[in-house]
Amino acid sequence: MIKKIKRLPVFLKEVREELKKVNWSTRQELISAGVIVVIASVLITCYIFVVDLGLSRAIQFILK
């Protein structure tokens, strides 16, 4: 346990060095990706709604 605590500063230094190598997205890239996610979510929600509505009406028709 003490060895792990002693290695913590080295670990944090390595983490900082690795984070400098990360290619961070620009604000515009994040906005574009967010818009795509929202549009895809709406489309998938609409599709699931239509399928659910169709299946529920089909089951109601069969059970009558």
CA separation for the pair 36, 9 (Å, rounded):
40
**Cβ contacts of 13 within 8 Å, gap of 6 or more:** none
Query: Into how many domains does the chain fold?
Result: 1
- What pLDDT digit, counting tens, does each position of 7-53 carry? 999 999 999 999 999 999 999 999 999 999 999 999 999 999 999 99
Tell me which residue range forms the domain holding 19.
Answer: 2-63
Q: What is the pTM of this model?
A: 0.64
> Amino acid identity of 43?
L
DSSP 1: -
